[in-house]
Amino acid sequence: MTSALNEPADGRSDSASGDGQDGPDYRPSDAEPFMNPAQLEYFRKKLLAWKEEILRESNDTLKTLQNESLREPDVTDRASSETDWSLELRTRDRQRKLIAKIDAALRRIDDGEYGYCEVTGEPISLARLEARPIATMTIEAQERHERNEKISRDE
């Protein structure tokens, strides 16, 4: 019997669920080597799915913008519609920037740098990567960075 740490050459594992590490129920664990191929593939799939979702939402927004007119007869209704679209477009702009961060995370996976803090070189916790797969710093390094940023803004 093999453990998650010593998978057979064909990539299957004898997990209790029977799904193996490549199964739909796989979740990275601290009990396995950090950023092993299964973890890297898990985060790659997570990032690609996130990117696809953002692109799908953006396309839906564009289609809606093209199909709906902002020519409301009532001035108040028009102002309300313009405000709604302004917020929607601002959200899409933030998501466009997020796609750049997702692409950068995918490049880090390809380069073998994913999951490690860009400041300290230490591993970023799996829980943090699960919650924010584009994270580039450990929580401690991020907090230090934010404190330094606040100090420089206050000066």
pLDDT of residue 106: 98
**pLDDT tens per residue, range 75-97:** 787 788 788 888 888 888 899 99
pLDDT of residue 56: 93
pLDDT of residue 146: 94
Comparing 153 with 135, the larger pLDDT belongs to: 135
Give the pLDDT mean for 32-59: 96
- Taking the C-alpha atoms of residue 75 and residue 60, their distance in angstroms, rounded to an integer, is 26
pLDDT of residue 153: 80
Q: What is the DSSP letter of 30?
A: T
pLDDT > 70: percent of the chain = 82
Mean pLDDT taken over the chain: 83
How many CA atoms lie less than 13 Å away from 14 in the CB half-sphere?
A: 5
Q: Which residues of 9-43 are buried (b: 16+ CB within 10 A; e: fewer)?
A: eeeebeeeeeebbeeeebebeeebeebeebbbebb
Count of CB atoms within 10 A of residue 110's CB? 10
Of 20-24, 61-65, 78-82, 109-113, the least confident: 20-24
Angle at 14 between CA 31 and CA 132, to 5 degrees: 40
Domains of the chain: 35-114 (1.20.120.910), 117-155 (no CATH)
Q: Is the pLDDT of residue 132 over 50?
A: yes
pLDDT-derived band at 11, boundaries 50, 70, 90? very low
Comparing 42 with 149, the larger pLDDT belongs to: 42
Note the Cα 25 to chain centre separation in Å.
19
Instruction: Provide the token pair at 38.
Output: 């299964």
Q: Is the pLDDT of residue 58 over 80?
A: yes
- Taking the C-alpha atoms of residue 138 and residue 122, their distance in angstroms, rounded to an integer, is 7
Comparing 35 with 151, the larger pLDDT belongs to: 35
Angle at 68 between CA 65 and CA 70, to 5 degrees: 90
Q: Is the pLDDT of residue 6 over 50?
A: no
